[in-house]
Amino acid sequence: MDHEALTLEMRGLREQVAGITDTALAAADGLLIAADTADSIDPEGLAALAAAGLGLARRTAAATSRGALRRTVTYGSHGCAAFYAVGDAALMVVLGDEGIDVDQLHRATRQALHRIDLILTEKAPEKAPEGV
């Protein structure tokens, strides 16, 4: 797995969308893979919550014939927590403050999620040997 590419994707997303405060990646079973979170957040617990939340949402989508699950977003008075399925094997958590433009976040994550999925499942195109 290309750790550097994964890190760049996570940091890049935070730079790209105003209002993202934290991001984390976990396997679909809730085991944390990587976290770019503030000290006030417990990334392991967050990963487990996201896995449970997405699992419940996925079953809800299936039971109500809503098609393939895309994401769940929890809104609070101080911001939101978005859980995205990354392919079939992993998930990504994005926390945002109350200023975040959630539509812009969804647009920005669409491409990033695909690239992260390729990195995680090691299908990303090999870097040139002389690359950084």
**Residue 38 or residue 52: which is nearer to other proteins going by CB?**
38
Helices 102-120, 3-16: inter-axial angle, 10-degree rounding:
180
Strands 20-27, 32-36: pairing is antiparallel
CB of 101 within 8 A of CB of 17?
A: yes
- Nearer to other proteins among residue 33 and residue 72 (C-beta): 33
Three-class SS of residue 62? helix
State the minimum distance, in angstroms, from the CB of residue 123 to other proteins: 10
Please report whether residue 42 would count as binding other proteins according to CB under 8 A.
no
* CB-based contact 30:93 (threshold 8 Å): no
- Binding residue for other proteins (CB under 8 A) from 46, 52, 73, 77? 77
Q: Which residue has the tokens 């109350």?
A: 98
In the complex with other proteins, the residue whose CB is nearer, 10 or 71, is: 10
Binding residues (CB under 8 A) for other proteins: these are 1, 3, 6-7, 10-11, 16-19, 21, 27-29, 31-36, 38-39, 76-78, 87-90, 97-101, 104, 120-122
